[in-house]
Amino acid sequence: MATVKLITDAEAEADPAVKAVFDDIRATRKTDFINNFWRGLANDPVTLKRTWDSLRAVMTGDTALSPVVQEMIYIAVSTANACSYCVHSHTAAARAKGMTPEMHAELLAIIGLAAQTNHLVTAMQLPVDDVFLVE
């Protein structure tokens, strides 16, 4: 169904560059599960490593936003970009990190509202108010 092969654990074991990233994903996330995103990317070990390093740097460690807020922002972008897989995976991640049904409901309401006002603004081609400009 995908346009690339999904690299299996056996194949990952055979390529040290892929194995190193899969090992780090498992250690960082404290789970043996590797989702299809990484199995697809593993066709290109360089992009696999760069993408995982970026994601780990942005989303983990000493962050300004809480993990659940990070995931809700991720859902918002993924929805607007119409990425079905991403909406599924980050909704699951947000729930695992504490998103309650009330938070999910409000997230969806904001996403819908923003899309509505985005389109209204674009259809009206409004000039930016001076007070919104930096300096």
- Pick out residues in 84-113 that bind a second copy (CB under 8 A): 84-89, 91-92, 100-113
Q: Which is nearer to a second copy, 20 or 69 (CB)?
A: 69
The site for a second copy, by CB under 8 A, has a size of: 83
Q: Which is nearer to a second copy, 27 or 33 (CB)?
A: 33
Positions 27 through 56 that interact with a second copy (CB under 8 A): 33, 35-37, 40-41, 43-44, 46-47, 50-51, 54-55
Query: Does 74 sit near a second copy (CB under 8 A)?
Result: yes
Binds a second copy (CB under 8 A): choice among 10, 30, 32, 127:
127
The CA dihedral of 38, 43, 46, 48, to the nearest 10 degrees, is -10
Q: Confirm if 91 and 69 have CB atoms less than 8 A apart.
A: no
Q: Which is nearer to a second copy, 27 or 62 (CB)?
A: 62
